[in-house]
Amino acid sequence: LQKFFPVTGQLGRIGGVKGQVKAVNDVSFQLFEGETYGLVGESGCGKSTTGRTLLRLTEPTGGKTIYKNQDIFQASKKELRSLRKDLQMVFQDPYSSLNPRKRIGQTLEEPLVIHSLGSKEERRERVFDILNKVGLGVEHYYRYPHEFSGGQRQRLGLARALVMNPKVVIYDEPVSALDVSIQSQVINLLKKLQDDLKLTYLFITHDISVVRHISDRIGVMYLGKIVEEAPTDSLFASPLHPYTKALFSAVPGANREHKKERIVLKGEIPSPLNPPSGCMFHTRCPFAMDICKKEVPVKKEMESKHFVACHLY
Ligand code: SF4
Ligand code: MG
């Protein structure tokens, strides 16, 4: 397993804005085998586009994603099909991707049929096994999507991704639609599955508490760029970027540790159609200086593996 995924400049769609917009601009990060990398930021910052582009669910216009020495962006259709066995994505609302007229068992078997994996019996066994792994039972095999609760549907979404025995799973807001009590159940299940099945996760969310709970490392995104990246403990012990500090200020739990540095963000996230010059955060940053409007800050390593892109440092 080649262990990194740099992604750079691509055109696409961001936060509901259609048209030729630079949704993700010079995003670069590595995903190491067995880890969970959390990508966090406000809605519309390009997180989902990054996740989708990695798997070419959104076609990139530039850059590269290296997996097992292969550039996914250059892969042929056939190569891509085989790559997608290893790389799966789970979305916020799995219900929309479940056919309401098909029994769950049939839906879960579909990818195995498409890739002609196993006999009919073996496929059924595989689906039974996966249903058990995600905390559902054999009895659910014959049910229809509408018979499941929200939490159970997210387990089905998970089952659908895992049935192919992937190596990497990309989650886009997988628990954001769930009640808080159900959220922690699902997060704990994700952690257990990661250990049992030796999975690597990219976890995309706007939720600071959730990302903190699950991630080994975190990248903070603002307007299509990663502005700070650090191991989870280091990020919460000493957030450096004013945007990260502001995000943490808004969370009761995280806030307690950073009372002195409470920052409340003014205004809305700027339109990606017309992004600010220099540091893209300067229109909302309480520490903005003259240089911030003119020069794009370069990423610097402040502590071991703790990177920030800000002129204050
Ligand atoms: Fe604020 Fe300037 Fe740092 Fe950007 S570079 S976050 S505007 S201080
Ligand atoms: Mg999103």
Q: Where are the domains of the chain?
A: 240-308
Distances (CA, A) of 307 to 102, 138, 228, 246: 48, 47, 5, 17
Residue 49: nearest ligand to its CA?
Answer: 2
Residues 154 and 133: their CA atoms lie apart, in Å, by 13
User: Higher-confidence residue: 289 or 13?
Assistant: 289
Residues 270 and 223: their CA atoms lie apart, in Å, by 8
Q: Is 103 exposed, middle or buried (0-12, 13-18, 19+ CB in 10 A)?
A: middle
43 Cα: distance to centroid of ligand 2 (angstroms): 6
Atom of ligand 1 nearest to the CA of 289: 2
Is the pLDDT at 16 greater than 70, yes or no? Answer: no
Residue 241: nearest ligand to its CA?
Answer: 1
**pLDDT over 90 for what percent of the chain?**
62
Question: For residue range 37-66, what is the model confidence (pLDDT) as tens digits?
Answer: 999 988 778 888 888 888 898 888 888 999
Q: Which two tokens stand for residue 136?
A: 């559902």
Q: What is the pLDDT of residue 5?
A: 38
Residue whose structure tokens are 């409470």: 262
Which residues pair with residue 203 across a beta bridge? 38, 171
Atom of ligand 1 nearest to the CA of 241: 6
Distances (CA, A) of 57 to 54, 191, 201: 8, 25, 17
Residues 313 and 311: their CA atoms lie apart, in Å, by 5
Atom of ligand 1 nearest to the CA of 279: 4
Nearest CA-CA partner of 88 in 1, 202, 169: 169
Residue 297: nearest ligand to its CA?
Answer: 1
48 Cα: distance to centroid of ligand 2 (angstroms): 4
Question: For residue range 73-117, what is the model confidence (pLDDT) as tens digits?
Answer: 999 999 998 898 899 999 887 777 788 999 999 999 999 998 888
22 Cα: distance to centroid of ligand 1 (angstroms): 21
Give the distance, in angstroms, between the CA of residue 301 and the centroid of all CA atoms in the same chain. Answer: 23
Q: What is the pLDDT of residue 92?
A: 83
Question: For residue range 203-222, what is the model confidence (pLDDT) as tens digits?
Answer: 999 999 999 999 999 999 99
Residues 70 and 64: their CA atoms lie apart, in Å, by 10
Q: What angle do CA 94, 96, 97 make, to 5 degrees?
A: 70
Q: What is the pLDDT of residue 10?
A: 37
Number of neighbouring beta carbons within 10 Å of residue 75: 17
Atom of ligand 1 nearest to the CA of 288: 7
229 Cα: distance to centroid of ligand 1 (angstroms): 16
Residues 309 and 299: their CA atoms lie apart, in Å, by 4
Backbone φ and ψ for 221, nearest 5 degrees, come out as -105, 140
**pLDDT over 70 for what percent of the chain?**
89
Tell me the HSE value of 273 on the side-chain side, using a 13 A CA sphere: 7
pLDDT band at 1 (very low <50, low <70, confident <90, very high): very low
Residues 291 and 227: their CA atoms lie apart, in Å, by 17
Contact 118, 154 (CB under 8 A): no
Dihedral sign for Cα 56, 62, 67, 72, please: positive
Atom of ligand 1 nearest to the CA of 242: 6
Residues 224 and 245: their CA atoms lie apart, in Å, by 18
50-62 residues labelled b (16+ CB within 10 A) or e (exposed): bbbbbbbebebee
Q: What is the pLDDT of residue 264?
A: 76
Residue whose structure tokens are 């009895």: 139
Residue 296 has what DSSP assignment? P
Worst-scoring range by mean pLDDT, 9-18, 19-28, 147-156, 206-215?
A: 9-18
For a ligand 1 pocket test, name from 227, 284, 308, 310 the mutation site with the most ligand atoms within 8 angstroms of its C-beta. 310
Q: What is the pLDDT of residue 249?
A: 86
292 Cα: distance to centroid of ligand 1 (angstroms): 6
Query: What is the ipTM for the molecules in this complex?
Result: 0.95
Residue whose structure tokens are 């019996």: 121
Residue 170: nearest ligand to its CA?
Answer: 2
Is the pLDDT at 6 greater than 50, yes or no? Answer: no
Q: What is the pLDDT of residue 250?
A: 78
25 Cα: distance to centroid of ligand 2 (angstroms): 16
Question: For residue range 145-170, what is the model confidence (pLDDT) as tens digits?
Answer: 999 988 899 999 999 999 999 999 99
Is the pLDDT at 259 greater than 80, yes or no? Answer: no
pLDDT band at 251 (very low <50, low <70, confident <90, very high): confident
Residue 45: nearest ligand to its CA?
Answer: 2
- This prediction's pTM: 0.88
What residue ranges line ligand 1, CB within 6 angstroms?
A: 241-242, 279, 281-282, 285, 287-289, 292, 297, 310-312
Atom of ligand 1 nearest to the CA of 286: 1
Q: Please list, in sequence order, all residues whose beta carbon lies within 8 angstroms of the beta carbon of residue 149, skipping any fewer than 6 positions away.
A: none
47 Cα: distance to centroid of ligand 2 (angstroms): 6
10 Cα: distance to centroid of ligand 2 (angstroms): 16
Atom of ligand 1 nearest to the CA of 313: 3
pLDDT band at 274 (very low <50, low <70, confident <90, very high): confident
